[in-house]
Chains A and B, each alone.
Chain A
Amino acid sequence: MAESVITDAMKSAIGVDGPPSIAEVTTSGIRLFARAVGHTDLAFYDEDVARARGYSGLLAPPGYLGTPIFKPGRRQADAEAAGPQFETPYKRILNGGTTYEYFEPIVAGDVITSRSHITEFREREGSMGAMLITYRETVFTRQDGKVVGKMRGNIINY
């Protein structure tokens, strides 16, 4: 294994939350997401069906945790919300994977604040050569203060 590319600055970023990002769980956002996937369960489309099943509004399909509030010129803020980006000697980048964990159903009307932090850096020698894997966790908190879900993902620089 070559010399480590994990710097002290990177190590000190582990566990430090980035700025919050707010997303709205809307009826139209749910329907568009469900349509894009090809969902057929009417609980994602018809409020009467969702309510008959005990939900307070349209149920959000797996993987939809709201639409981030867009404002012109906010790209930089969005990038910051994703957490600090570090220079690495690697030129290529891959999204390694994503896992969602739910504690409560997400429904239309929820407003969700997410905060992300790095949980771990790992270095590995793989078939594509040396790689750095950055693991992040995002915590989703509803407007009533309840943590409703978590997302874990990893990014591969190689």
Chain B
Amino acid sequence: MADQTYFEDVNEGDEIPSITKNCSTQQLVVWAGGSGDFYQIHYDLNFAKSTGLDNIIVHGALKNAFLGQLLHDWVAPGGRVSEFGCQYRGMDYPNQDLVCHGVVTKKFVDGGRHMVELDIWTENPEGQKTTPGTARVELPSRG
């Protein structure tokens, strides 16, 4: 992780450092255990094909959690993720790069709290935004 980001360092339109994920099927199994989502389309190829899918698909909630990591790594250790979420628009598959991005859309002070809003998304190898979303984080101020 990089050094602490402060509110004063941030401008609307800034891109935050992206993170790249590439899920092995093993990671999807670990996620199944960690999240409690044991639906077999995420780790059993035969089962996934029996439902009409071409491949195992990455859990939507895992992609949401990747976006949570993108934000946490940007604001830690002194900041805090206040709100984040995404829409599940497209499927992603194991062993493909999934790049998590964020762009600052707004910064403001709310009752002494230094808040930043962002657009966030995951991008597949074709450049499509498969899980677009928004976030609000709190950053420390240089005072």
Q: Which residues of chain A have a CB within 8 Å of any CB of chain B?
A: 29, 32-33, 35-41, 43, 53, 61-64, 67-68, 94-102, 105, 152
The answer on a CB contact under 8 Å between B36 and A61 is no
Known: A41-B1, A96-B88. A63 touches B36 (CB 8 A): no
Which of A36, A99, A152 has most B Cβ within 10 Å? A36
Please give the distance in Å from A29's CB to the nearest CB on chain B.
8
Which of A62, A68, A100 has most B Cβ within 10 Å? A62
Residues of chain B contacted by A94 (CB below 8 angstroms): 88
Known: A35-B34, A37-B65, A38-B69. A98 touches B76 (CB 8 A): no
Q: Which residues of chain B have a CB within 8 Å of any CB of chain A?
A: 1, 21, 27, 30-31, 33-36, 60-62, 64-66, 68-69, 71-73, 76-77, 80-88, 133
Cα-based distance from A92 to B27 in the complex (angstroms): 27
The 9 closest A-B pairs by CB, nearest first: A99-B85, A62-B68, A97-B87, A36-B34, A36-B31, A33-B34, A32-B34, A36-B30, A63-B65
Contact pick for A99, options B73, B80, B83, CB 8 Å: B83
Please give the distance in Å from A119's CB to the nearest CB on chain B.
14
The answer on a CB contact under 8 Å between B85 and A40 is no
Residues of chain A contacted by B84 (CB below 8 angstroms): 62, 99-100
Contact pick for B85, options A39, A68, A97, CB 8 Å: A97
Contact pick for B36, options A68, A95, A96, CB 8 Å: A68
The answer on a CB contact under 8 Å between A37 and B62 is yes
The answer on a CB contact under 8 Å between B83 and A101 is yes
The answer on a CB contact under 8 Å between A95 and B133 is no
Nearest B-chain residue to A28, judged by Cβ = B34
Residues of chain A contacted by B83 (CB below 8 angstroms): 99-102
Known: A33-B35, A63-B68, A67-B36. A102 touches B76 (CB 8 A): no
Contact pick for A37, options B66, B71, B88, B133, CB 8 Å: B66
